A and B are shown apart, each in its own frame.
Chain A
Amino acid sequence: ADKWDMPMGYSGSNFHSVTGAEFAKCVTKGTGGELEIVTHPGGSLFKGNEIKRAVQTGQAQIGERILSAHQNENALFGIDSIPFLATSFEDSVKLWKAAKPEFDKLLDSQNLVLLYSVPWPPQGLYFKKEVNSVADMKGIKFRSYNTATGRLAELTGMLPVQIEAAEISQAFATGVAESMVSSGSTGYDRKVWESLTHFYEVDAWLPRNYVFVNKDSWGGLSDGVKNVINGCASIAEYAGYWRSVQYTEFTIGQLAKNGMTVGKAGDALKGELQEIGKKMTAEWLEKAGPTGKAIVDAFKASQ
């Protein structure tokens, strides 16, 4: 019997971690204990930042990470986070379908095998006041955490402030930051209603987590075990997707229940944001080259 350790970045109660734990159970059971997978959520084995590298170099056999975290090394990893390109669960799946063959290739070149991917709930905008247009956002201190969110702040006239994930609640409570783009679930988990008042469901994009295996570890498996893993992976992808859909409704309901003003953005704001989205898509295409263009074209054709 073999044992695989699976580092994961988010805390054990997060739905991605729950999906991962069930995937691990499925493999352990399905192989009759021939391969046992043990998940380590909450960065308890390797921190989120280190997981991909750890799996690439065989320090762990399998792991999970948010896709866009790696867009600095290759723009392709940012495909899920282009604002206002794929703005619904259905579109997110179509975009992923269009992109998957390229990711298989890219990850293969990095000594990794792609298993499955689950989207986060759609990203909305959190504020401390009512916002009806991009002009209303001017000068607001906006939490940015990567190049894309920094650029989003720039294009909307907000001030990007870099706040580490651990400091989010504190930063909002003390006014170091006043706004962020994130899913309803982050707002629920971090209980942002203690400091923020408005959540606009602009459905900017749906970030994805993805699960990958070290190629050498994968190569050492029997075909039977590989089949079980692939089977469990498709179950996990399906179950994780529906968890995400359900969790979206639940968390947004919770935001409202705890006193936040929750709703769709007005048409004026939506139109302006769409324009910004077009600009950022164009900028991304420039970085991602012909591969990126092929994916976006295929996605648009499937819409």
Chain B
Amino acid sequence: MEEFYLTAIFLFVLFLMLGTGVWVGLALFGVAFVGLELFTTRPAGDAMTTVIWSGTSSWTLTALPLFIWMGEILYRTRLSEDMFRGLAPWMSRLPGGLVHTNIVGCTIFAAVSGSSAATLTTVGKMSIPELRKRGYPERMIIGTLTGAATLGLMIPPSLTLIVYGVTVNESISKLFLAGVFPGLTLALLFMGYVAWWSFTKPEEVPDISEKLTFGQKLWESRFLLPVIVLISVVIGSMYLGIATATEAAAFGVIGSLILAALQSSLSLSTFLDSLIGATRTSAMIMFILAGAAALSLAMGFTGLPRALATWIDTLGLSPFALLMALMVFYIILGCFLDGISSVVLTMAIVEPMIRQAGIDIIWFGIFIVVVVEMAQITPPIGFNLFVMQGMTNHGMGYIAKTALPMFLIMVVMVFILIFFPELVTYLPENMRATPGG
């Protein structure tokens, strides 16, 4: 029962600090402090400082501020407007109109970046102002974006899948392939929701459709060209072996600087604005990540995630019931932890459970991405909520409310994965990476 008290104390301190308005990063740090002081004999301050240093001074993290910077540059140039001009003729005829650009934009950018925070800031910087200008309801703009940004972790490259693959010794290339169809399916589900909204609340959908012929549409699409080139360069650099997934972000920044210069929207002041804006946003995210590193350490010392996972193990559940239990488990864990920490802290217990139950370990990687991503859009600790709050100044409760439909869609996605596992397994089983290259 010690776990029960632990959970209660963690939750109480967390809600007290977050609820009274203490900054999220500091609240996480504070909860970690209380946990370490109460439940270990180890020196809390020293240990927290150690993990905060190793958590922030990391090469793989560098892609995050670089992609955020790329978003800031695009937002300050004509590129974002152009992207809209190019996409609009195609999206405007879909039921729900331009809201779809949020989802399509996230899907495309997910293929460029490995994190949902970078996906959210880059796409959001471009689409939010444009969608607002055209009179779409705020609720739809915010909700679809917060939800669709989770695609950043499902569609390759993906930081969570890399960490999962290394932890369970599975092929990262296979995991990446496995994420493609589920990612696209989830994107379609999100778009289906937008369509459903437009049928049930037609009065909310602004009328922006101009009747264009197919030829005119194609002609309008020329505005998409720069963004397509930019994204192709970033993706291409990764798959041609010119850059690693981390380095590709540098292509994004330099590419967007060049595009901005070509459009003569790059001045010294836009450059500096984009730089300081990116610094501020990434400092905000790093502040939370630092707190999360400390909390993850406290969780490791108290052994809470492991104890809970072990408890689930003792229940002797059927595979389906086990997956349901794990879904709930990771959503609860997501109240305290970011997705990667959730994976790292629990896999030692969960991996044998999964293998024993005869569940495909690649499939489970995709399952776990969906599930920890669901936790990222639910309060109190939901990373996408924080990033969205930083970008729009909306309250977290409001953002979580707008994202609730996306959360429910992801629950549906979990069942789709369970009943149609081929969605995950088809590509990795049928597309063997060619050796030699």
Interface residues of A (CB under 8 A from B): 5, 11-13, 38, 40-47, 49-50, 53-54, 57-60, 128-129, 163-167, 169-171, 173-176, 189-191, 193-197, 259
Docked pose: A38 CA to B435 CA in angstroms? 41
Cβ–Cβ < 8 Å partners of B51 in chain A: 46-47, 50
Q: How many whole Å from B160's CB to the nearest CB in chain A? A: 12
- Fill in one digit per residue for B156-187: 1 if any A CB lies within 8 Å of its CB, else 0: 01000011011111111110000000000000
Identify which of B1-9, B79-87, B240-248, B373-381 touches chain A.
B240-248
Cβ–Cβ < 8 Å partners of B436 in chain A: 128-129, 195, 197
Are A50 and B171 in touch, CB under 8 angstroms? no
CB neighbors of A among B218-244 (8 A): 238-241, 243-244
B347 at the interface (CB under 8 A from A): yes
Are A49 and B54 in touch, CB under 8 angstroms? yes
Are B50 and A54 in touch, CB under 8 angstroms? yes
Are A166 and B162 in touch, CB under 8 angstroms? yes
B262 at the interface (CB under 8 A from A): no
How many residues does chain B have at the interface if contact means C-beta atoms less than 8 Å apart?
A: 46
B142 at the interface (CB under 8 A from A): no
Are B351 and A12 in touch, CB under 8 angstroms? yes
Q: Would you mind naming 13 contact pairs between A and B with Cβ atoms under 8 Å apart? A: A5-B300, A11-B167, A12-B347, A12-B351, A43-B344, A50-B53, A165-B166, A167-B60, A170-B157, A170-B172, A191-B170, A194-B171, A194-B432
Cβ–Cβ < 8 Å partners of B345 in chain A: 44
B420 at the interface (CB under 8 A from A): no
Cβ–Cβ < 8 Å partners of A194 in chain B: 171, 173-174, 432-433, 435
Are B300 and A50 in touch, CB under 8 angstroms? no
Q: A12-B351, A38-B303, A173-B437 are in contact. List 14 more A-B contacts (CB 8 A).
A: A42-B344, A45-B300, A46-B51, A46-B54, A46-B297, A58-B46, A129-B436, A166-B166, A174-B240, A194-B171, A194-B173, A195-B433, A196-B435, A197-B435
Cβ–Cβ < 8 Å partners of B42 in chain A: 5, 58-60
Docked pose: A53 CA to B51 CA in angstroms? 11
B301 at the interface (CB under 8 A from A): yes
Q: How many whole Å from A270's CB to the nearest CB in chain B? A: 25
Listed residue (A12, A54, A59, A176) with the most chain B CB atoms within 10 angstroms of its CB: A59
Q: How many whole Å from A41's CB to the nearest CB in chain B? A: 6
Are B435 and A195 in touch, CB under 8 angstroms? yes
Q: How many whole Å from B47's CB to the nearest CB in chain A? A: 4
Q: How many whole Å from A145's CB to the nearest CB in chain B? A: 12
Are A44 and B300 in touch, CB under 8 angstroms? yes
Docked pose: A50 CA to B47 CA in angstroms? 10
Cβ–Cβ < 8 Å partners of A171 in chain B: 244
Cβ–Cβ < 8 Å partners of A42 in chain B: 167, 344, 347-348
Docked pose: A23 CA to B17 CA in angstroms? 40
Cβ–Cβ < 8 Å partners of A49 in chain B: 54
Chain B contact surface mostly: helix
CB < 8 Å neighbour of A59 from B43, B171, B246: B43
Cβ–Cβ < 8 Å partners of A174 in chain B: 238-241, 244, 437
Are B166 and A53 in touch, CB under 8 angstroms? no
Docked pose: A1 CA to B168 CA in angstroms? 33
B59 at the interface (CB under 8 A from A): yes
Are B173 and A173 in touch, CB under 8 angstroms? yes
Are A59 and B300 in touch, CB under 8 angstroms? no
Q: How many whole Å from A256's CB to the nearest CB in chain B? A: 14
Docked pose: A70 CA to B225 CA in angstroms? 50
Q: How many whole Å from A10's CB to the nearest CB in chain B? A: 10
Cβ–Cβ < 8 Å partners of A176 in chain B: 241, 243-244
Given A11-B168, A53-B50, A259-B435, the answer on whether A169 and B241 have CB atoms closer than 8 Å is no
CB neighbors of A among B46-65 (8 A): 46-47, 50-51, 53-54, 59-60
Are A167 and B54 in touch, CB under 8 angstroms? no
Q: How many whole Å from A9's CB to the nearest CB in chain B? A: 12
Are A164 and B59 in touch, CB under 8 angstroms? yes
Chain A residue, CB-CB nearest to B53:
A50
Cβ–Cβ < 8 Å partners of B241 in chain A: 174-176
Chain A residue, CB-CB nearest to B296:
A44
Given A41-B348, A59-B43, A164-B60, the answer on whether A11 and B245 have CB atoms closer than 8 Å is no
Q: How many whole Å from B77's CB to the nearest CB in chain A? A: 30
Cβ–Cβ < 8 Å partners of B165 in chain A: 169
Cβ–Cβ < 8 Å partners of B173 in chain A: 169-170, 173, 194
Docked pose: A287 CA to B433 CA in angstroms? 43
Are B46 and A59 in touch, CB under 8 angstroms? yes
Are B169 and A54 in touch, CB under 8 angstroms? no
Docked pose: A53 CA to B171 CA in angstroms? 32
Are A163 and B50 in touch, CB under 8 angstroms? no
Docked pose: A301 CA to B238 CA in angstroms? 51
Q: How many whole Å from B107's CB to the nearest CB in chain A? A: 21
CB < 8 Å neighbour of B47 from A54, A190, A195, A259: A54
Q: How many whole Å from A60's CB to the nearest CB in chain B? A: 7
Are B245 and A167 in touch, CB under 8 angstroms? yes
Docked pose: A59 CA to B49 CA in angstroms? 10
Docked pose: A40 CA to B40 CA in angstroms? 15
Docked pose: A5 CA to B41 CA in angstroms? 10
Cβ–Cβ < 8 Å partners of B47 in chain A: 46, 54, 59-60
